[in-house]
Chain A
Amino acid sequence: MSTSMLSAPFTRSELQIQSIMLTVVLALAPGTAWGVFIFGWPALFIFIVTVASAIAFEAACLMLAGKRVDATLLDGSALLSGWLIALTLPPWAPWWIGVVGAFIGIVVGKQVFGGLGQNLFNPAMLARVALLVSFPVEMTVWANPISPFSSAAPGLLDSIAITFGGLTPADGSTGATMLGWVKTEFSQGRLLDQSLATGDYGFYKSLLGWTGGSLGETSALFYLVGGVWLLKKQIITWQIPFSMLATVALLASVFTLLDGERYPGPLFHLTSGALMLGAFFIATDYVTSPNSPVGQMIFGAGCGLLVYVIRTWGSYPEGVAFAVLLMNSLTPVIDHYVRPRIYGRNRKGKPLELPEGRE
């Protein structure tokens, strides 16, 4: 439906969907590369499998719906969704986890609602949560980071076996994530400084991402840099990341001051788990977040609150996916109640009062 415009404006900004999606992918690339770097060949395999199946599912849905396949695929949204799903998977997950994840994200999470722009929930987070609930064992095998040139790293054949052959990783090559470790240790009565010491925690390690976790969640630093770059490119706005991170940091500060032996501090929270990835790349998803700046602040703060609550008192060690999904369901409500004030009107939409002495 390409027509020359008959009504103004006759000029248009250069930015298009495709370039937005590709910029986001580019911003994700360093963090993703880091994940592949520390988790080896299996991480690359599961990543490729997930992205390829996401694109395949998108194409299949478009064909079924009788929509134009090439033009829609080229907009890059399936690539980005698949990419994000892959980042949330355990790096040594079997291949079918990636395929099922892509199916849930693309088909159930997006196309069933009517395709791009129509979905209520973030497809990647929906996929992650559905997988986590359905396949808790496969979804909680966390490979430890290994230097790719060390002898401990799985070779190419072993890696193929891990991803495609159902090979159980060797003992000692997997462990808990830091958030999980602190939680289980605490449940056994061990205090924070103890569990951090036994878990071999280090702030800089956590910041850089030399720790167990999902394929692409470990490096807070790379996602922070990528996120700030997206802000500079005006792809995302500051409200959601800022309010989400600030809420977590604030709550963590308050509770660590109240009981430092039980509650980790803000730096621990900010650099652990998927928070940085979530704040800059997932909660900021256009489709599923509110559209007014104030609404976005509320949304971000809600995500931050839920992340902290689930991490601290919930039964799962990490809560970014649940937090984002719960807040996604509130987006229509936020958008209904929080709207920008219209010029010349008050917040309720009534015209402003005339100044004194005028009629």
Chain B
Amino acid sequence: MISKRIIPCLDVREGRVTKGIKFKNNIDIGDPVSLAQFYYKEGADELVFYDIAASYQKRGIIIDIVRETASQIFIPFSVGGGIKTIEDIRNVLLAGAEKVSVNSAAVTNPAIINKGAKAFGSQCIVLGMDAKRVDAGKNIPSGYEIVINGGRKYTGIDALEWAKKAEKLGAGEICLNSIDADGTKEGYEIKLTSLIASNVKIPVIASGGAGNPEHLCQAFTKGAADAALIASMTHYGTYTIKEIKEYLDSQGVKIRKI
């Protein structure tokens, strides 16, 4: 049976991997290509590079890092952050990424999902969505609102409706990030994860809040996620991928053994 995927996320700023707490106070973690190799050997199932500043500083995406990584590791990896056009998608895929993640640009221009899926196939278009807990109401019935530009701007769009719409437009996967949980290490937003994962047919990656292996177990079981993003819990060496996988295996969660 299919394995649940564990995906380290490498936030990249100016060519270096950083990890911020709720997008602020970024500290340096290291060289993205070496970290990618490290995680590949450790048994990561996939990787994400996220160009965290690209969205508002309009910097080009990190094509060199992608190219270098693609010649050294042979698992799928995706690139997100600042992807705005079909040309951006093409450049990232040609440099060797398996998938691209569109986030803010898809909210302002949903057609990019459709166009990207038509040009390159749904399997390489990931919708990245940042959701924030709000009071449920007429406009936001699910109680989760989509925010963009790294959590700085509210959009008035309901997270569940957006997920369903993106699926219809041809997104192949959803990377669902909880702004409230991000960087807290207190666990994924299980209610949000389960809400989205059980209402779309495409795979959902839980993101934001992972602090220990039990959190991943919850995301996969109660949250019904197909994959889980991790960052600080392994970046700082608190856990290894192997330890996380051993724990999940002991809890009956199907994982890929190395």
Co-complex (A, B): no
